[in-house]
Amino acid sequence: EVQLVQSGAELKKPGESLTISCTGSGYRFTNDWIAWVRQMPGKGLEWMGIIDPADSGTRYSPSFQGQVTISADGSLGTAYLHWATLRASDVGIYYCARLVSAQSGFDLWGQGTLVIVSS
C-alpha cells in the first residue's frame, strides 16, 4: 500500500526542541518531493516547506523560513520536521504530503501529527 505514516502526537514545553517524522512506503521515496503543511486549531492549511529526498534540496515558505528545519533520509524513506525552540504558537496538526510534480498537486498525505506546546 502506498502511504505516508507520521510519528505520534507530542506534548512539549515552550523552549524545548522537537523532531517529527514522515515515512513513505509502497513507492520509491526519492522519486517525489515531500512537503510539510501546518493546520492550527480550527484554521486552514499553511504550506511550510518542501524537500527533495533525492538530494535534500529544500524550499521554505517565507513565513516559516528560520523557524523550522526540514530534512530527509532517502535511504530510510523518511522526512523530518524539526524545531530547535518550540513556542506556544507552534501548536497544531502537522501533515506531510507527497508532491510528484508542481502540476500534480499533493496527492498523498500522512495522517497528521498533533503537536501541543504548553507549560
Q: Kindly state the smallest distance separating residue 24's Cβ from other proteins, in Å.
A: 14
Contact (Cβ atoms closer than 8 angstroms) between residue 38 and residue 20: no
Calpha distance 5→111 (Å, rounded): 7
Residue 55 contacts other proteins per CB under 8 A: no
Give the interface segment with other proteins, choosing from 9-17, 42-50, 66-74, 77-85 (CB under 8 A): 42-50
Show the site string, 63-102: x = touches other proteins by CB under 8 A, - = not.
--------------------------------x-x----x
Which conformational region is residue 94 in: left (phi greater than 0), alpha (psi within -120 to 50 degrees), or beta?
Answer: beta
- Residues contacting residue 119 through CB under 8 Å, at least 6 positions apart: 13, 14, 88
Cβ neighbours around 39 below 10 Å, total: 15
Residue 47 contacts other proteins per CB under 8 A: yes
Residue in 1, 44, 75, 119 binding other proteins, rule: CB under 8 A: 44
Residue 41 contacts other proteins per CB under 8 A: no
Q: Kindly state the smallest distance separating residue 93's Cβ from other proteins, in Å.
A: 9
- Residues contacting residue 27 through CB under 8 Å, at least 6 positions apart: 2
Q: Which residues bind other proteins (CB under 8 A)?
A: 35, 37, 44-47, 50, 59, 61-62, 95, 97, 102-107, 109-112
